[in-house]
Structure 1
Amino acid sequence: MSSFWWFRLRSTIKDGIDNSLKHIEKERSMKNLKTLERLQQLHNLITNENTGTPKELANLLQISQRSVHLLVEQLKDYNANICYSRSRKTYYYCDDFDLQVSISVNVLTNNEVTQIFGGSYFLQNNLHIAS
């Protein structure tokens, strides 16, 4: 195989891998945003004590019951003391708790990034890597 074709093949494979990695990263970002959105929805329902049963909540959020339990556990990881009332068929906060989700997206062009970081110490060759 000539070196040109080998280089072309390697380049094509690298481009394919790079595109796949970008796609995976985008999916992760979207999944994280969806999770934050669901956490906020769940928080609002718990605050209003209007979640329904876990099965009803799963249907409302259009997720599995297992995902509902995972979201509840995530809120508990944020120190939310969550209880469930079988008689009222709802989750509720046993103690005061508030969750505020805010997302900020700033899109920068290459020129803007260069301007922001232009002259930065980190863009110079002053970085020393410990060995």
Structure 2
Amino acid sequence: MLLVTSIIAVVLTGMFIKLSLAVISLRRKNKVGLGTGGHEDLERAIRAQGNFAEYVPFGLILIACLELNGAPWWLVAGPGVALIIGRAIHAKGIHTPPPDFSKRVLGMKFTFYTLMTLMVLNLGWTIYKMIG
């Protein structure tokens, strides 16, 4: 069962819905059906949503693999929480005008380090299970 992954996926999905609703709201406000219409706030919202959609699936897949392979809950939950934190910081940094690039960079660092950690954990745990 993927109990820890499920909780992490629920939180991340809620965050994605919030980002998506922000895009929809700005599209309505600015009367833009496709693209940004030259509106900087809409462009930021679209990129916050897009960036989230680009990185989160890899994290969830690696988290699920780790849990499916029998890693302890805390080894699964730790990177999951880090991914949530990284995505929240990034979204706040890119979405709040004017863009706070220090938060955006910090959010991406959290995200990249989490993905790299998940790569190492998955590889290490798999080798450990194969040998042990």
Q: TM-score, normalised by structure 2?
A: 0.30
Higher helix share: 2
| Higher RCO (CA-CA < 8 Å; seq separation 6+) | 2
TM-score by length of 1: 0.30
Q: Which structure: greater strand fraction?
A: 1
Over alpha carbons, which structure has the higher Rg? 1
